[in-house]
Structure 1
Amino acid sequence: SSPSGEMGTIIDYFPGDGFGEFDIYLYGLNPGTLYYYRAFAINQDGQIGYGAQRTFTTSELYLLTFIVLEQGTETPIDNAMVTLESYDFNKTNDEGDYEFHVEEGDYNYSVIAEGYKEDANGIYIDSDNEIKTVYLEPSAYTVVFTLTDQNDKPLSGIYISIEGADPYYCTTNGLGKAIFSPPGMGEYTFEIDADGYEPYSGNFQVEDNNTIYLPIILQELPKHTVTFHVLDPWGDPIENAEITLQEGYKKNGEKAYYNTLYTDMNGYAIFHEVPENQGYSYGIYHINYIFQSVYDLEINDDMLIEVYPLY
């Protein structure tokens, strides 16, 4: 087949006489696909030299199959949920679907099922038809969290902090599910502090070995526009001032909101879709001025913040 349209140019700077080797990394390529490429070079005088057109074919995706068994009895478990992720891949299959088609590389996986403790580990995939057998330890008690938004969309990657006799936590998968295996009977409390959503807290009582189901709908926080206007001591706009606006940290250590912008020629930088909350801070940097940082900003409406340097 003939080549598709040009996909763009990757640029690298190679100092010296132009002879030697260099590496270029291409991301986002399709598996099992023939690509055409052509190298060219531009010297300091603007002269262009072209190499011959060449081709390469990317590898096909590999089939990875999980086998999920009960520890001790080796009884197959047919309702587990498997999550597989790497730096650019994150997928949770439906219950009982244990097959993934992936590229070569390192992955982390987690396997959860009602009535069992979670198993999580890493795996390296370098060939087709890989099989990974996972053994789940039975759990005497099970709590199933299901987190969705107001539109019934599953919320993944949400950290749930649990307090009983000791602190515990679990994290929702791509289906919005998280399974907690309490170590014993008693009362437990939990908190959910998710980026962009109102905090949620609750409790549950473990009294027997029946599974506890906790469907939770998180309410999205209102979002606002925060405009900074940065001026010099004489009231003239300061261009290219770096402004970092951030919220506090979630319980798992991640920043709840974090963004950096630069002022335009009129001294403005506009942050859109900022979740309503307390505890924001901002810092401003410019090579010619010193600014005071603010650590107790509350955002509950659209705001215009006018800022002058200390000196």
Structure 2
Amino acid sequence: MSDDGRFFDVEQAPPSGEEPPPRRRAEGGRRGRAAGRGGRGRGAASGRGGARRASGGERRRRRGPGSDLGGRVMVAIPAAIAVIVVNAAGGPIWALALLGIGILAMHELYAMLRPVQPVAVAGFVALAGMLAAALYGTHFHILLAAVSIVPVLFVLVALGPEREHATLSMATTILGIYWIGFALAHAMLLRELPHGNAIVIDVLVGTFIGDTGAYFGGRMFGRRKLAPRISPNKTVEGLVIGMVCAVAAVLLAGLYQDWLSTTEALLLGVGVAIAAPIGDLFESFIKRDVGTKDTGRAFGAHGGALDRIDAALFAAVVGYYIWYALA
């Protein structure tokens, strides 16, 4: 626990678009060198060099929304192909793919929460059990797998090395199980419903298009902050544009699926449009609380696996229950 009472004593990441504060030692060294050179040194610091730095910053500020498009596309295309292939295969292959992405996402979450020592192995075991229950069983078996991990978690903590915050250790472990495990189990259940393979794609398309629309819409038209304490860069305008794009994407996909009516596609699209931004904000809230910008580097500059699937985790659950009711 840090001196101010926080359990996560990590350096807070600077808000997006701001440079981190200079280190005092380096600042003092620059002042000393400038003083030794006199006014000329100070003038040089604020002259051509300062102009170059300002022009560099100006160039970064002038970059339009399209400056990030290439990187996003390079990440999205291979990921989309992989999802289409494993989703089409279904069954154990789909379950193993969900297990892989789930373990990676859980690992990133537990790494962020490392100060309270979550029991990662318990989270991984629970995830595998819930996915197996979704593949071979029913809702009852998923619930059984989730409940069973609580005594197992207790035994692992009680018999393992002494932990300073054992209760928080168990609580953060269960957070990963409920957030990531239950969501991916619902993605498994959704795939097993009638036309479930196509509905999975519809949900993911709505989530991705909505997220992309929110990003670029916010960059171009954003004025009013949506949740400045959670994610300072998100705007109300971006949210609205993203929701419209999500609904439109699912409706458009429904035009090529004769078994999916316009009303059903609209309901599914609205569900995705509402759930996906909440999932995005939920992850942003956790990252801001622990003071990190990205959950990992699995996708390079675009962050970790959890950064990529945060919205889909919420959308998959809502998509399942909507389609379960309709189908």
Question: Whose strand proportion is higher, 1 or 2?
Answer: 1
Determine which structure has more spread, i.e. the larger CA radius of gyration.
Answer: 1
Q: Determine if the TM-score, normalized by the shorter chain, exceeds 0.5.
A: no
Tell me the TM-score normalised to structure 1 length: 0.20
Greater RCO, 1 or 2 (C-alpha within 8 Å, sep 6+): 2
Structure with the higher fraction of residues in helix conformation? 2
